[in-house]
């Protein structure tokens, strides 16, 4: 029997306790676009800035490298060609071989006064032998460029050209005695140049000035003074009494209406303004119609003046002859010292000139002798800095391809300073009126648009305007007075003077009564009078222009010189060039000054008004000092813009060569009527107008480097001044 066992039922295992950590649903993170955080614009703007800085750095690096290596002495090669020809020269450029051409080298060979080419391309395959002889020299001469050769002799010659003394008869003796003799000869040459330019030039200037005085006296004697109205002594005395009376009226009414109602205040202002206009018109009448101005120069006066001039001419001629004899004596002694330097191609020696090919070179005609093949680093550095000093301190020669740029530097600096002096006050005054005084509306908006558009006008247009207006119109007026077509009759001029005085007083009256009473709204009558006042003021200004441009009492300041066909201010000159560039850069100063004035906080103005200051006091002591750094910024921008302009200067003043500086030791010291040389125009002339373009090409880089340095120096001075003004305006920091 099977035993069944009943097993009690087994209970299910208890479930394990579950974790109480909440389950977080994971979401896929969305990527933020770079454009949302502006990253592409950061890279774009940063990259643009990097490109701009790189371009500027490349420009300056190229100019500095090419401009600074021009004066470094290079070795002289002696080439023996396959044809048997021998050439001395300095390698300046090299071209590698291509499919069409062979490898070749450009050599500066000089010696062009005997018909040789200044520069010559020579194929490398045509060179049989290339050496660098120790006795090869390069002579930098006063004329006809450089000369390459081998020195042989230094001799003294007599007047007929025969040798009287052999100082050196071989290369070794030549080099031993050259430096001392050359220094003495160049000192004599400088003395001769100074005597010709200064001593003889001053005598000629005195003679010319006195001759012009006689010529002017003759013109005054021939002019019919009876056609001009002059006051007699009685009439002039009456005018003097009127002047005293008008002055007394002004003194009496100087306080009239200042403490009364608006109507009486207008009357007081009108009386004061009217008396001032009457005083000015009376003074003009007394000056123009003065009885002593009617004195006629007689023939006896002219004869006496001519006799005095003849005596002075004789005295000056004696001085002239004495100086000329001294010059001839120095030149005669100088011409006796000759050098023989032979070129190797044809065996010819360096001549005195192209027309005197049989006479050897004067020692004083050598500016510098360079022997680069035997020079060490220190000697080459000495030549390098000597050439730089010559470049900065001497006048150009050889059609500007050699010599210095001293007059070019003087002309550029003077032009830049004059245009800055002219444009800065004009721009500041215009901006001050537009921002602080003018009523903001349609007219001022149009003026601002016009000013901004003027900044985009091509510079050559300003040059044409300057030539036509400043040179031919204003300059001609200064020289000879009004032209025959614009000169008014005497009666018409006096009538215009009287009417202009009345119109000015009427314009002041209309303007005063066009303003409404304090605290009242302008009426239609006020608005109509304001418009009428502009018309009356326009007529008054037109009358003043007619009085000046058509006066029969002014015949110019340089009538005698102009009668000989040599205008003074009626031609191109430094003054007109400065005014033309000032007009060109005027929009820059106006815009910069307006922005600087607008940046001054209004709270400072209100605080000044609250302390009782007037409008002008607030502008002078608060607004202008606060805007001064911005004003100087505009002046700096105008200086940089004007200094680099060339196109207008080609029409109104800049010339290729001018030996007379605009500034010298002769009164009035600054000769604004003279033409001048400019670095920008000089660069253009070297690059595109030079008869020897290969020789001028290195000087283009050097002149450009100098131009950038001068502009940078002028701007640096202005920037330092602006920084000092800013620090002073900021005040002491705690």
Q: How far apart are CA 432 and CA 410, in angstroms?
A: 33
H or E, element range at 140: strand 137-141
Q: What is the percentage of the chain residues whose pLDDT exceeds 70?
A: 93
Task: State residue 409's pLDDT score.
Answer: 92
Q: Which residues contact 36 (CB under 8 A, 6 or more apart)?
A: none
Task: State residue 384's pLDDT score.
Answer: 93
Q: How far apart are CA 566 and CA 655, in angstroms?
A: 17
Task: List phi, psi (to 5°) of 498.
Answer: -65, -45
Report yes or no: 71 and 389 within 8 Å, Cβ to Cβ. Answer: no
Task: State residue 378's pLDDT score.
Answer: 92
Task: State residue 305's pLDDT score.
Answer: 84
**Is residue 214 scored above 90 in pLDDT?**
no
Q: Which residues pair with 148 in a beta bridge?
A: 138
β-bridge pairing 86-95 and 137-141:
unpaired
Q: How far apart are CA 192 and CA 325, in angstroms?
A: 11
Query: Where would I find the beta strands (DSSP E) of 142-294?
Result: 146-157, 163-168
Burial 190-208 (b: 16+ CB within 10 A, else e): eebeebeeebebebeeebe
pLDDT tens digit string along 661-689? 888 877 778 888 888 999 989 998 888 88
What is the three-class DSSP state of 650? helix
Task: Please state, in angstroms and as integers, the Cα–Cα distance from residue 601 to each residue in 604, 622, 626, 632, 727, following that order.
Answer: 6, 10, 9, 19, 18
**Is residue 18 scored above 60 in pLDDT?**
no
Report yes or no: 645 and 466 within 8 Å, Cβ to Cβ. Answer: no
Angle at 674 between CA 669 and CA 675, to 5 degrees: 135
Tokens, residue 224: 């019919």
Tokens, residue 83: 């044809």
**Among residues 269, 252, 250, 251, which one has the least CA distance to residue 260?**
269
Q: How far apart are CA 253 and CA 330, in angstroms?
A: 76
pLDDT tens digit string along 159-182? 777 778 888 888 888 888 998 899
Residue 509 or residue 35, greater confidence: 509
pLDDT tens digit string along 600-647? 888 888 888 888 888 888 888 888 888 888 888 888 888 888 888 888
């Amino acid at each position: 029997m099977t035993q069944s066992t009943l097993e009690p039922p087994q209970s299910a295992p208890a479930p394990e306790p579950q974790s109480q950590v909440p389950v977080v649903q994971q979401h896929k993170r969305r990527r933020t676009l770079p454009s949302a955080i502006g990253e592409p614009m950061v890279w774009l703007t940063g990259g643009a800035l990097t490109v701009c800085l790189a371009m500027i750095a490349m420009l300056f690096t190229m100019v500095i490298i090419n401009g600074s290596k021009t004066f470094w002495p290079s070795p002289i090669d002696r080439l023996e060609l396959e044809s048997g020809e021998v050439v001395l020269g300095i390698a300046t450029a090299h071209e590698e071989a291509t499919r069409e051409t062979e490898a070749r080298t450009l050599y500066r060979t000089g010696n062009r006064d005997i018909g040789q080419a200044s520069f010559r391309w020579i194929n490398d395959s045509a060179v049989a032998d290339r050496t660098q002889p120790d006795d090869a020299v390069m002579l930098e001469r006063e004329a006809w460029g450089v000369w390459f050769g081998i020195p042989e002799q230094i001799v003294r010659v007599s007047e007929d050209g025969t040798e009287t003394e052999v100082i050196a008869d071989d290369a070794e003796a030549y080099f031993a005695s050259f430096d001392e003799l050359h220094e003495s000869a160049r000192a004599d040459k400088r003395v001769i140049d100074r005597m010709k330019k200064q001593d003889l030039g001053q005598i000629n200037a005195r003679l010319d000035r006195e001759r012009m005085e006689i010529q002017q006296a003759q013109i005054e004697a021939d002019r019919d003074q009876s056609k001009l109205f002059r006051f007699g002594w009685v009439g002039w005395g009456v005018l003097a009494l009127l002047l005293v009376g008008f002055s007394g009226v002004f003194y009496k009414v100087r306080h009239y209406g200042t403490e009364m109602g608006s109507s009486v205040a207008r009357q007081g202002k009108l009386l004061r303004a009217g008396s001032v206009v009457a005083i000015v018109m009376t003074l003009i009448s007394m000056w123009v119609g003065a009885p002593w101005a009617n004195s006629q120069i007689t023939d006896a006066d002219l004869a006496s003046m001519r006799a005095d001039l003849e005596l002075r001419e004789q005295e000056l001629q004696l001085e002239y002859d004495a100086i000329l004899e001294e010059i001839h004596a120095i030149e005669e002694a100088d011409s006796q010292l000759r050098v023989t330097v032979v070129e190797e191609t044809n065996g010819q020696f360096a001549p005195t000139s192209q027309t005197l090919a049989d006479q050897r070179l004067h020692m004083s005609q050598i500016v510098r002798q360079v022997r680069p093949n035997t020079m060490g680093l220190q000697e080459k550095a000495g030549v390098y800095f000597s050439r730089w000093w010559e470049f900065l301190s001497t006048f150009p020669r050889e059609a500007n391809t050699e010599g210095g740029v001293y007059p070019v530097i003087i002309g550029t600096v003077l032009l830049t300073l004059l245009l800055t002096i002219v444009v800065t006050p004009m721009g500041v005054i215009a901006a001050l009126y537009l921002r602080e005084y003018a009523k903001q509306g349609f007219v001022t908006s149009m003026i601002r648009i016009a000013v901004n558009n003027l900044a985009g006008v091509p510079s050559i247009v300003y040059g044409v305007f300057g030539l036509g207006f400043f040179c031919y119109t204003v300059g001609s007026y200064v020289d000879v007075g009004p032209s025959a077509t614009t000169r008014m009759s005497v009666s018409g001029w006096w009538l215009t003077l009287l009417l202009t005085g009345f119109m000015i007083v009427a314009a002041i009256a209309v303007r005063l009564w066009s303003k409404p009473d304090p605290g009242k709204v302008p009426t239609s009558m006020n608005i109509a009078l304001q418009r009428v006042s502009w018309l009356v003021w326009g007529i008054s200004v037109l009358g003043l222009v007619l009085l000046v441009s058509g006066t029969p009492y002014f015949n110019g300041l340089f009538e005698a010189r102009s009668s000989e066909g040599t205008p003074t201010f009626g031609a191109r000159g430094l003054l007109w060039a400065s005014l033309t560039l000032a007009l060109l850069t005027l929009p820059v100063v106006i815009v910069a000054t307006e922005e600087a004035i607008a940046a001054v906080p209004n709270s400072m103005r209100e605080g000044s008004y609250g302390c009782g200051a007037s409008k002008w006091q607030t502008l002078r002591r608060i607004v202008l000092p606060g805007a001064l750094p911005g004003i100087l910024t505009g002046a700096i921008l105008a200086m940089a813009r004007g200094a680099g302009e060339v196109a207008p200067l080609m029409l109104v003043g800049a010339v290729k060569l001018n030996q007379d500086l605009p500034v010298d030791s002769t009164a009035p010291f600054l000769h604004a009527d003279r033409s001048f040389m400019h670095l920008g125009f000089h660069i253009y002339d070297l690059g595109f107008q030079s008869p020897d373009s290969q020789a001028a090409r290195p000087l283009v880089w050097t002149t450009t480097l100098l131009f950038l340095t001068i502009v940078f120096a002028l701007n640096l001075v202005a920037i330092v001044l602006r920084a000092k003004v800013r620090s002073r305006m900021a005040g002491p920091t705690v």
